[in-house]
Amino acid sequence: MVHPGPLTRKLIRDLWRIKGQAAAIGAVIAVGVMMLVMMTGLVASLGETRRAYYERYRLADVFAPVARAPQAVAAGLRQLPGVAAIQTRVAGSALIDLDGTALPIQARALSLPDYRSPALNTVYLTDGRMFDGERAGEVVILRSFALAHGLRPGDRISATMNGFRRELTVVGFAQSPEFLYSTAPGELVPDDARFAVLWMSRTALAAAYDMQGAFNEVLFALARGAEPEAVIAAADRLLDRYGATGAYALSNLESDRFISEEIGGLRRSAGSVPPVFLAVAAFLLYIVISRMVQSEREEIGLMKAFGYTNMEVGGHYFRMILAIAAGGALAGCLLGIAVGRWMVDLYLIYYKFPFLVFRLDPASFLVGFGVSILAASAGGLLVLRRVFALTPAVAMRAAQPPDYSGSGRFGAALDRVLDQPTRMVLRRLTRQPLRMGGAVLGVAAGLSVSVSMASILNSFDAMQALTFDVIDRSDLNVSFTQPLEMHSIHELKRLRGVIEVEPVRTVPAILRNGRERYHGAIFGLTAQPRLNRAVDADEQPIDMRPGGVFLSVGLARTLDISAGEMLSVDVREGRRPRLDLPVIAVAESLLGSPAYMEMEGLNRALKEPLRVSGAYLRVDAAQAEKLYQTLKDMPMVAGVSVKSDSLAALQRVMDQGAGAMRYVMALIAAVITFGVIYNAARVAQAERARDLASLRVLGFTSGEVGFVLLGELAAVTLLALPLGAALGYGLTFAIAAGFSTDIYQIRPVFSPESYGQAMGVVLAAALISGWLVKRDIDRADMVTALKTRE
């Protein structure tokens, strides 16, 4: 049996002696590695599953919607340079009427070949069977919608297509890579119960939408190395005469945009968040090992006198650093796997993958261990220089007492006011300003993380309040099947239960600025909107001035454009004119990337006066159910969106995926805060163990002795509060930018509550740390402490 050497036994004893500090530092390292492993694993899982899903079910690279094109055009499209395969199909909007639902449910109807698998955009059948091409009334529906309403294969549903009501039989449920993230038209928040996808045979759907021998969408698969932009330009030229509304690449598909933003956000966070925790851990290790080397000068001298080399003695302390770092990294890897698997379950609710297995990225383990060791070594190597510099003769002598003659005195007046324990606390602060400053900085770093995460939690709530209370003050939004005359608004005003109506004109368009482009829409608002408003950074409504366009902050950033510049607008409906419009201002918007215009000015630019495409309504809640039934029976209504439903759906989204990550980071902020404060208290206790024992011998009570030590911790904590609040202010902007995407923006919100919550975490950590240290002081052996030579 091989027995451990003397240095190994000493290492085990030392680790046991500082087990509390080692565990706290290891916890800080663990959360940093956990974040790295979890985030890189999620990036790998989402990215690889998306790639495999897209490939297996042949998701198109380019989508080209068109008003109506004859099937014969498909031969020319197939010959375009860079095209590997095409698939034409019929697509249309529909409304589904289910028993027990007050409002019609918006749906998208898509065709599949009658008797074979499509060349592109196949579906994954999860339940039941595919439709029979000879039975026009059979349909396969999106699985998430079916589960939300408790449907089963064999059930019948009623759907309005092209103005005609049809009875359909559900024969199966399916999922599709085209609808990983599924939202109703005009909405950004997914709600499984309020949006459906129907797949029918090409013959049946063509008959429903008058598309026999024609199509209104073509899908392209590109050859290896082909440029999507070249194929898009060629397809638009060929389909222009048939009412092309603008081809777009897969990256502009709404579903792919959302998941790409999610993966990008996780990748950015994986590169920026873990280093913060590892840097704090390196700082804590430096303080602990520095204190240990200082207190073990005599032991170091004895080891060298007995023949141990500098490398052997230094290696002993370096192994201690490596043990703490490796233990923290191992715990972080295991936690990363556990939290990553939990997050995967949330993503399966958020994104409609047929499966999603947390995939470990081996590189994240290597990077996690490597960076942990390097960060810990960086702090430890500075300390080891002192070990190498000590000769046995110098080390075995007591360290030269520090000279505090230049630290000054408090003065007789202050001496009379303050008792002796308080003066001892103040002397400690003034005589070792660098060490105290390091402790203040460490606590402030922990507080800054808590402040930033508390502010981010409030920012998510503020984003919802701004979007649904300040910007949108309506109760519901009604969209029409096509732009209608203004008298349609008067019909809505006459409905029982309607209090106020505000028209809106929505025009699909491609917005361009140089090489930048964005597939979206321009929203025409009344001159002084009341129910759906654009607001500035101060949350004040912006009056819609004619003659130009107002862009949201996110859209202006995407297009790289600012106020005063000209924006090119390719309108994709009606006569499809190209407009050059000045950007009047950039408006605040935290949800989506809208562009606004004064409605009459927009209609004049389109040469379509007095046209509206929908309206925002404020209604009497007592008569809402009857109003919903009336709207359901109006043929001009394409869909109705109730604001309360949208708000509830957004809240669910914010509690899943990236939104759930903020709760994980809030917990981690509490861990790092406690680790920093606990280590500061333990280091202070170790440094003053002999002094505190001396005070007990001189007659000081245990309470007075505890006050000397804990007063120092309290002073450090109180000094750290304003510094940590200032650091947290800046860190909040960085974290908010990391959470924000082109889809939604998180605006930092600072409130007394967020600062109070963060400071409460710090004070709670200080109280717990103080209690643990005070307990050890009361249990300390005074004789042993007095024999210790500093």
In this structure, the answer to whether residues 450 and 547 fall within a common structural domain is no
Percentage above 90 pLDDT, the chain: 18
> Among residues 117, 181, 146, which one has the least CA distance to residue 353?
181
Domain that residue 164 falls in: 91-203
The answer to the question of residue 259 being in a domain is no
Distance CA 5, CA 312 (A): 12
In this structure, the number of other CB atoms found within 10 A of the CB of residue 70 comes to: 10
The answer to the question of residue 651 being in a domain is yes
Evaluate if residue 643 carries a pLDDT over 80: yes
Last residue of a domain, one of 604, 619, 634: 619
The answer to the question of residue 164 being in a domain is yes
End-to-end Cα, the chain, rounded Å: 38
In this structure, the answer to whether residues 774 and 663 fall within a common structural domain is yes
Evaluate if residue 359 carries a pLDDT over 50: yes
Can you state the angle between helices 433-465 and 420-431, rounded to 10 degrees?
90
In this structure, the answer to whether residues 595 and 697 fall within a common structural domain is no
In this structure, the answer to whether residues 687 and 604 fall within a common structural domain is no
Structural domain count, the chain: 3
- The tally of CA atoms less than 13 A away on the side-chain side of residue 78 is 10
In DSSP notation, 289-310 reads HHHHHHHTHHHHHHHHHTT--H
Sign of CA dihedral 231, 236, 241, 245: positive
In this structure, the answer to whether residues 539 and 608 fall within a common structural domain is yes
In this structure, the answer to whether residues 461 and 520 fall within a common structural domain is no
pLDDT digits (tens, 9 = 90+) for 287-320: 667 766 666 666 777 777 777 777 877 777 788 8
Find the range with the poorest average confidence among 121-125, 562-566, 626-630, 708-712: 708-712
In this structure, the answer to whether residues 706 and 767 fall within a common structural domain is yes
Q: Which residue has the higher pLDDT, 558 or 538?
A: 558
The answer to the question of residue 39 being in a domain is no
The answer to the question of residue 124 being in a domain is yes
> Among residues 241, 247, 243, which one has the least CA distance to residue 228?
247
In this structure, the answer to whether residues 421 and 561 fall within a common structural domain is no
How far CA 10 is from CA of 14, 17, 58, 299, in Å, comes to: 6, 10, 63, 11
**183 contacts 106 by C-beta, under 8 angstroms:** no
Evaluate if residue 755 carries a pLDDT over 60: yes
Last residue of a domain, one of 186, 203, 220: 203
pLDDT digits (tens, 9 = 90+) for 240-290: 889 888 889 998 888 888 888 878 877 877 777 677 667 766 776 676 677
pLDDT of residue 152: 92
Distance CA 580, CA 605 (A): 10
Q: What is the mean pLDDT of the chain?
A: 80
The answer to the question of residue 130 being in a domain is yes
The answer to the question of residue 105 being in a domain is yes
Q: pTM (2 decimals)? A: 0.76
The answer to the question of residue 25 being in a domain is no
In this structure, the answer to whether residues 541 and 678 fall within a common structural domain is no
Distance CA 278, CA 645 (A): 42
In this structure, the answer to whether residues 420 and 469 fall within a common structural domain is yes
Q: Which residue has the higher pLDDT, 89 or 545?
A: 89
pLDDT of residue 188: 66
In this structure, the answer to whether residues 536 and 579 fall within a common structural domain is yes
Q: Which residue has the higher pLDDT, 659 or 438?
A: 438
Last residue of a domain, one of 203, 218, 251: 203
Distance CA 718, CA 181 (A): 47
Evaluate if residue 551 carries a pLDDT over 90: no
Q: Which residue has the higher pLDDT, 352 or 461?
A: 352
> Among residues 526, 551, 543, 528, which one has the least CA distance to residue 601?
526
In this structure, the answer to whether residues 525 and 600 fall within a common structural domain is yes
For residues 747-778, one letter each, b for 16 or more C-beta atoms within 10 angstroms of the residue's C-beta and e for the rest, the string is ebbbeeebbebbbebbbebbeebbeebbeebe
Evaluate if residue 1 carries a pLDDT over 50: no
Distance CA 638, CA 486 (A): 16
Q: How far is CA 554 from the centre of its chain?
A: 16
> Among residues 510, 519, 506, 518, which one has the least CA distance to residue 477?
506
Sign of CA dihedral 301, 306, 309, 312: negative
